[in-house]
Amino acid sequence: MSQSSSLWSDALRRLFKNKAAVAGAIVLLVLIVLAAFAPWIAPYPYAYQNLDLGASPPSSVHLLGTDVLGRDLLSRILYGARISLLVGFIATTVALIIGVSWGIVAGYAGGKIDSAMMRIVDILYGLPFIIFIILLMVIFGRNLWLLFLAIGAVEWLTMARIVRAQVLSLKNQEFVLAAQAMGVSNFAMFKRHLLPNILGPVAVYATLTIPQVMLLESFLSFLGLGIQPPMSSWGTLIKDGVESMEEYSWLLIYPGLTFTVTLFALNFFGDGLRDALDPKTSE
Partner 1 sequence: MLGIFLRRILLAIPVLIAVASITFFLVRLAPGGPFDADKAVSEQVLKNLNEAYNLNAPLSEQYFDYMTGILVGDFGPSFRFPGRSVTELIMTGLPVTFELAIYSMLIALFIGILSGVTAALKRNTFLDYVPMSIAMIGICVPTFLLGPLLVLIFGINLELLPVSGWGQLPGDKILPSLTLGFAYAAYIARLSRGGMLEILNQDFIRTARAKGLSEKMVVIKHAMQGGLIPVVSFLGPAVAGLLAGSFVVETIFQIPGLGRFYVEAAFNRDYTMILGTTIFFSVMIVFFNLLSDIVALWLNPRSRDT
Partner 2 sequence: MRYSFLFIILLLIGCSSGTTPVEDAVEAKILHYGNGTEPQGLDPHIVTGVPEHHLLLALCEGLTSSNPRGGESLPGSAASWDISDDGKVYTFYLQENGKWSNGDEVTADDYVWSWQRILTPSLGSQYPDMLYYVQNAEEFHNGTIDDFSNVGVKALNSKTLEVTLKEPTPFFLGLLSHYSTWPVHKPTVLKHGTMDDRNGQWTRPGNFVCNGPFNLKTWELNKKIVVDKNPLYWDADIVELNEIHFYPISNEMTEERMFRAGQLHVTSTFPSNKCEPNIKEINPNIKIHPYMGTYFYRFNTANEALDDVRVRKALAYSIDRQKIVESVTRCGQIPAYSFTPPGSNGFYPDTKIPYDVDLARNLFKEAGYDSGEEFPVLEILFNTSEGHRKVALAIQQMWQQNLGINVELVNQDWKVYLSREMIGDFQVSRAGWIGDYEDPNTFLDTMRPNRGNNKTRWDNYEFDELLARANATLDQEERYKILMEAERLLIDEMPIAPIYTYVRVYQLHEDVKGWYPNILSHHHPKYIRIERD
- 10, 223, 228, 279: which one binds partner 1 (CB under 8 A): 223
The site partner of 244 among partner 2, partner 1, none (C-beta below 5 to 8 Å per kind) is: partner 2
Phi-psi region of 84 (alpha: psi -120 to 50; beta: other; left: phi over 0): alpha
**Whole-Å CA distances, 97 to 91, 103, 176, 231:** 10, 10, 23, 28
Q: Which residues bind partner 2 (CB under 8 A)?
A: 47, 49, 51-52, 54, 68-69, 138, 141-142, 224-225, 228-230, 240, 243-244, 246-248
- Residue (44 or 67) nearer to partner 1, CB: 67
**Stretch touching partner 1 by CB under 8 A, among 38-46, 79-87, 124-132, 144-152:** 124-132
Query: Exposed, middle or buried by CB within 10 Å (0-12, 13-18, 19+), for 188?
Result: exposed
172-191 footprint of partner 1 as x/- string (CB under 8 A): --------------------
Q: Name the residue among 185, 128, 193, 188 with its Cα closest to residue 166.
A: 193
Residues 7-26 touching partner 1, rule: CB under 8 A, are 20
Shortest distance (Å) from residue 51 CB to partner 2: 4
Q: Does 211 bind partner 1 (CB under 8 A)?
A: yes
The site partner of 181 among partner 2, partner 1, none (C-beta below 5 to 8 Å per kind) is: none
Q: Name the residue among 135, 150, 132 with its Cα closest to residue 94.
A: 150
Catalogue the E-assigned strands of the chain.
none
